[in-house]
Amino acid sequence: MGKLNGRTALVTGSGRGIGRAIALKLAAEGADIVINDLDEGAAAETLEVLEGLGAGARAVVGDVTDPAFPDLMVSEALSAFGGVDIIVNNAGYIWNTTIQNTTDEQWAAMLEVHATAPFRLLRAAAPFLRDAARREQAAHGRPRTRKVVNVSSVSGLHGAATQIAYSAGKAALFGVTKTLAKEWGRYNVTVNCVAFGHIETRLTQPLDDGPRTIAVKGRNLRVGLEPATLEQLRLQTALGRPGSPEDAAGAVFLFCIPESDFITGQIVECSGGAASS
């Protein structure tokens, strides 16, 4: 029996990288999973792996910033699995420049994907969470514990050069987390946040042989870090290495299991002990 048997988890941005590792971790502990990605191919690959593990799994391919997306994600969970127990707001990307080169479009895009999209998904889930808690309270004297984990960044905690828009979006999640922990305590929903440091993904890949880009909604955005920057990050990290997607998934997992049922409104930094300045 896994720790999450009988639970249904929604994980945004889970076609690859950290989101995929989170989905696989939760599924390995028995959860049914509704995954999401902009890339249909990546979502299909992750779905195949989840089904190979024997997990109940569905995919909702689409843009988390689409106002119609949240209802689609929640409806898929309810129709396929009958409920929502865990929500992991993970989807996101970087679009970096110094402030003088940051456009209004860039600023809005970073806030939309990192703050507005999580807000909308949580708002869409609210009626189910409220009604389920009331039913369970009446029937059993206490609602089952449900979980929200918002994925942020050390850039939101400490700032990062060239990431003013990204940092602002990630910092907004701290307010969302602490406020919703107070609002949803009455429904026995815990709301916590993990702020990641240097995790090895395509966004932080080494630039050994020139610039790299990712395609996001018709834009080619530069990603990756210079080898000298990666070495500096390693030296500033107490554990002396970057984190893996599995390390990141482990931190999220801690907030999804019964052992954390009395922890809410918290922000945990998962950075290997990286220096804050």
Q: Which residues are catalytic?
A: 166
Residue for token pair 């990630």: 170
Contact 123, 47 (CB under 8 A): no
Task: Output DSSP code: residue 4.
Answer: T
Q: 141 in helix, strand or coil?
A: coil
Contact 178, 150 (CB under 8 A): no
Report which of 108, 116, 19 is spatially closest to residue 66, judged by C-alpha positions: 116
Phi, psi for residue 217 in degrees, rounded to 5: 50, 50
Q: 8 in helix, strand or coil?
A: strand
Largest CA distance in the chain: 62
